[in-house]
Amino acid sequence: MSLVQALLRQAHLAPDRPAIFFGPQEWASYGEWAARSAALADRLHGAGLQPGERVLVFMRNHPRYLEVLWALWWAGLVAVPVNAKLHPREVEWIVGNAQARWGFVTADVAPTALAGLERQIDVNSHDAEALLAPAAPFDTVPVAERAPHDLAWLFYTSGTTGRPKGVMLTHRNLMTMGLTYFVDVDPVAADDAIVYAAPMSHGAGLYAIPHLMAGARHVVPASGGVDPAELFALGQALGGLSTFAAPTIVNRLVEHARQEGLDHAACARAFKTIVYGGAPMYLADIQRALAVMGPRFVQIYGQGETPMVATALSRAHLADTAHPRYLERIASVGVAQTPVQLRVADADGRALPPGEVGEVLVRGDSVMAGYWQSPEATAAALRGGWLWTGDLGSLDADGFLTLKDRSKDLIISGGSNIYPREVEEVLLTAPGVAEVAVVGAPDAEWGEAVLAFVVLQAGATTTPESLDQHCLAQMARFKRPKHYQMVQALPKNDYGKVLKTALRVQWQALADAASNRR
């Protein structure tokens, strides 16, 4: 089993079909993609890299990302995709941990040599061009034999606490993820196009697999990042795009469409499908997104350990406004994707009845093989045949999963559980509030107290008193924040996730400064 089969198949079927675009310009046909990946694979093999070796990919989004990835798989190597925003010292730690000898980089993120690598190739250099230059027809370069359980992708978790862990994903894991896309997320035709706005080192890049399987077009924005105006223009030029975006990016696209006065038809010309996930999408935000951009959304819930595959909330469910529990459903993350089983469990792994909150467990062919060289962490995450996700949630009688929070973000105040997300959902409906993040902070009286960090809409004003009134009108008294901190922006990682650990640290610093003043 190899992910390369899908590329060979397309390159044989339609070698001249446009495959990769850089901005609106074609970068490679399927035949050219296969030829370059095969050439690089051949040279990697010639240089003595052995199947199973790890190779660093530390790149900003770029068309070469795809050529390099498939070359690595062609040669039986394991890609180690690293977030382009990481500091070189963090990347060097990963290089050492993964024992990578070779690395492919873009010079903007790795301007100097990374310690630990024997060979560092800037994908925009003459060196890279020479390595990728086809020397023989692609189908004369043998594809390294790989078993379904062999590693394809060693993905380092964002590691908000402690060192990141390498999630071991196999060819079977990624094949499962790719095939499931068509069943649970969105059908794909050859004239469809996916745009890589979010980092390709993460889920957005993995969606190259189903789009390659379908022979669709792959588009990397010229900016290499997220610029709503650029993305809309690309969509208009190339035809409705699909994309994976974290909720914060979705909100920016929606805001752009609103400001530009684009109607549903104009949004449909730019975007076929926007898959959102990776962080909570608040009810108020998805309602606004649907109202502004129309029915072009699908939600997925997954994690690095079961990439893009745990649940999905379909376009049809998001459109079923007549359903008596419509609002609950669109605030959920949907139902189990086809290849996995889902369980909400107590601490012993026993299934809890509908409505009860427990840890979300997942099992199936998308679930990782374990953490790289971390038997203890693996044993903690993979127990009794299930992946313990660390997410808390509850199922309804129809199988819709509503996520509460990560277990580590749960606030216990005065002995009661408070799910930050519930408080955030309420505060987001208060006039003038643009974004909010709720965390717990140590409190002598209550154990933990609820804190809200609030970003206001441009030009809006509000007071802690009026936010408090808003909360009192909508939720139990004990859940409402004890403190509000107005901020210009929330700290987020490269994938758009709010960094709650950073907020807790920020609050502690404020509290320390206040006590020093006293």
Which residue ranges make up the site for ligand AMP (CB under 6 A)? 157-158, 277-280, 299, 301, 303-304, 333, 389, 391, 403, 406
What minimum distance in Å lies between the beta carbon of 146 and ligand AMP?
A: 24
Q: How far apart are CA 283 and CA 135, in angstroms?
A: 54
- For the record, the structure tokens of 298 come out as 């699908």
What minimum distance in Å lies between the beta carbon of 297 and ligand AMP?
A: 11
Q: Which is nearer to ligand AMP, 23 or 280 (CB)?
A: 280
What minimum distance in Å lies between the beta carbon of 357 and ligand AMP?
A: 14
Q: How far apart are CA 378 and CA 382, in angstroms?
A: 6
Q: Which is nearer to ligand AMP, 121 or 313 (CB)?
A: 313
Q: Which is nearer to ligand AMP, 172 or 404 (CB)?
A: 404
Q: How far apart are CA 420 and CA 57, in angstroms?
A: 35
Q: Which is nearer to ligand AMP, 197 or 403 (CB)?
A: 403
What minimum distance in Å lies between the beta carbon of 278 and ligand AMP?
A: 5
Q: How far apart are CA 352 and CA 354, in angstroms?
A: 7
Contact 200, 244 (CB under 8 A): no
- Per-residue H/E/C for 155-178: EECCCCCCCCCEEEEEHHHHHHHH
Calculate the CA dihedral of residues 170, 42, 124, 96 and round it to 10 degrees.
50
What minimum distance in Å lies between the beta carbon of 311 and ligand AMP?
A: 8
Q: Which is nearer to ligand AMP, 216 or 274 (CB)?
A: 274
**Which of 203, 181, 200 minimizes the C-alpha distance to 192?**
181
Q: Which is nearer to ligand AMP, 22 or 297 (CB)?
A: 297
Radius of gyration of the chain (CA): 23
Q: Which is nearer to ligand AMP, 7 or 300 (CB)?
A: 300
What minimum distance in Å lies between the beta carbon of 264 and ligand AMP?
A: 24
What minimum distance in Å lies between the beta carbon of 303 and ligand AMP?
A: 3
End-to-end CA distance of the chain: 66
Distances in Å between the Cα of 81 and the Cα atoms of 167, 201, 238, 306 are 11, 5, 28, 16
What minimum distance in Å lies between the beta carbon of 158 and ligand AMP?
A: 5
Strand partners, 275: 244, 298
Calculate the CA dihedral of residues 18, 20, 23, 25 and round it to 10 degrees.
-40
Q: Which is nearer to ligand AMP, 29 or 306 (CB)?
A: 306
Angle subtended at Cα 40 by Cα 89 and Cα 198, rounded to the nearest 5 degrees? 50
